[in-house]
Structure formats: C-alpha cells, structure tokens
C-alpha cells in the first residue's frame, strides 16, 4: 500500500478501537483522537438511554471527525466506528488518504467487553444494533481487516506492515 495519510481505527463499540488507536499513534509518532469525544451531547444521551443512533445522528459527528482529520498537517490516527460504507466515504470526502483499520470481533466478545466497561455511555443492549449496521470494508476500500482478539502489539505490527 502507498504511504498513509491518516489511520481510522474502525469497528463496533467494544472492538478495541481506542486501545489499538492509541498504540498505533504511539508506535507511529502520530496524534490520536478518540472518536467518541466528537459526539454531540444529544448523541451521547440517546445512546446512554439505549437508543441506537441513526444516519442523521451520525452525520454531524462524522463531519466533526472528518474536519479534525482535514485540519491535521501531519498524518494522524482516530478511532471511529465508521460502520457503513457511506460513513467511510463521508470521512474520505474530508481526508482522501485514509486507511481504515477494521477490528473484526464476534458479538459475544463485544457484549462481554461492553458489559464490563465502567463509565462509558454505550450500553451492552446496543451491541446488536452495531452489528446490524456494520458493513465490512469493500475490496475496493483502502484498509485492512484485523482480528481484534489478537494482542495489541500484533495488531500494530500487522497494520504497520501493511502500510
């Protein structure tokens, strides 16, 4: 693959996006942004109440993340579920050189991870809606799918080797 502009660590809630994103940013010497921090308060409240976000809810959030990427003068890493192709296309509209890192994980593992998290607004009851919305990377999309059950160091090694 060609030199990377930005990395977007994607996948369902509880797949390890933040952990892997932070590790990739550290390994590559890049800035990192937590995608959840870009959600407007209404989105957080909606998810905390157990209601999945819809495309209209996600639009401003994706635009905020895309704007952050576009404003970077150096390649960066951001965590963002980017569940649908249309969401990834929207992000690429802001920053065309994105490589998506899809953390692939099974529903049972995610339910256990989400149920065990403390202080996060995303309830385990929304895990199913995440998998329903998920559209894996298309063959024509710049990205790599990695098993989220691998040790973080192995995931980082696979991503850096693919770049």
Rounded Cα distance, 45 and 115, in Å: 18
Q: What is the pLDDT of residues 3-20, one digit of tens each?
A: 448 999 999 888 889 999
pLDDT confidence of residue 108 = 77
Q: Are 57 and 46 in contact (CB under 8 A)?
A: yes
For residues 66 and 17, give the distance between their C-alpha atoms in angstroms, rounded to a whole number: 17
| Pair of tokens at residue 28 | 């590559």
DSSP string across 35-87: GGGGS-HHHHHHHHTT----HHHHHHHHHHHHHHHHH-SS-EEEE----SHHH
Domains of the chain as residue ranges with CATH: 6-162 (3.40.50.300)
Per the prediction, the chain carries an average pLDDT of 87
């Amino acid at each position: 693959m060609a030199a990377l502009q930005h990395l977007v660590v994607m996948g369902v809630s509880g797949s390890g996006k933040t952990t892997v994103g932070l590790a990739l940013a550290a390994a590559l010497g890049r800035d990192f942004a937590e995608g959840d921090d870009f959600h407007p308060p209404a989105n957080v409240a909606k998810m905390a109440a157990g209601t999945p976000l819809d495309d209209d809810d996600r639009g401003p959030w994706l635009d905020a993340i895309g704007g952050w990427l576009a404003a970077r003068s150096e390649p960066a890493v951001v965590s963002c579920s980017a569940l649908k192709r249309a969401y990834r296309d929207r992000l690429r509209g802001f920053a065309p050189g994105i490589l998506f890192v899809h953390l692939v994980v099974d529903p049972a593992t995610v339910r256990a991870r989400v149920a065990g998290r403390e202080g996060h607004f995303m309830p385990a009851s929304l895990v199913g809606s995440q998998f329903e919305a998920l559209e894996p990377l298309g063959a024509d999309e710049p990205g790599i799918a990695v098993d989220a059950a691998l040790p973080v160091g192995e995931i980082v090694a696979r991503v850096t080797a693919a770049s």
